[in-house]
């Protein structure tokens, strides 16, 4: 019986993963190494997040302010390339493609607004004398 209590105390002495869930509870797994504060599962998730954030930075690199359809097309081309290489998640690609379609729609509306005729209300009257 003392041997069981010794085993349980040695397990509880191991460092726990420092990941906290949205509910506020802490991960119950042990840290993956002496220098790591996360378990292997959360270490992998953190590495994937770091890799995908680098890929997202590649998407917008050298593209202007998305003020033309060409720039949005360029973004979508890069997005398709990263998705085919499995460097970003399909969910992120879907969200970015949806945002791009919204952006294209607003570009068309902005172009129509720029083409509107301006009416001058206080133009001088013709001389009728």
pLDDT tens digit sequence for 3-38: 555 455 555 577 888 888 889 898 888 887 777 888
Q: Which residue has the higher pLDDT, 52 or 30?
A: 30
Specify the residue for token string 């003020």: 67
Instruction: Phi first, then psi: give them for residue 30, nearest 5 degrees.
Output: -80, 155
Residue 104 has pLDDT above 80, yes or no: yes
**Which of 1-10, 45-54, 97-106, 113-122 bottoms out in mean pLDDT, i.e. has the lowest?**
1-10
Residue 92 exposure: Cα atoms within 13 Å on the Cβ side: 16
pTM: 0.49
Q: How many other CB atoms sit within 10 Å of the CB of residue 76?
A: 17
Residue 126 has pLDDT above 90, yes or no: no
Q: Which residues contact 97 (CB under 8 A, 6 or more apart)?
A: 76, 79
Residue 98 has pLDDT above 90, yes or no: yes
């Amino acid at each position: 019986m003392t041997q069981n209590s010794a085993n349980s105390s040695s397990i509880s002495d191991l460092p726990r993963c420092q990941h906290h869930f949205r509910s506020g509870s802490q991960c119950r797994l042990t840290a993956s190494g002496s220098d790591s504060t996360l378990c292997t599962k959360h270490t992998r998730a953190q590495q994937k997040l770091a890799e995908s954030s680098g890929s997202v930075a590649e998407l917008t690199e050298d593209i202007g302010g998305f003020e033309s359809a060409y720039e949005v097309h360029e973004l979508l081309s890069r997005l398709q390339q990263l998705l085919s290489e499995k460097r970003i998640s399909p969910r992120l690609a879907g969200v970015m493609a949806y945002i791009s379609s919204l952006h294209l729609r607003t570009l068309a509306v902005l172009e129509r607004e720029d083409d509107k005729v301006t009416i001058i209300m206080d133009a001088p009257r013709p001389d009728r004398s």
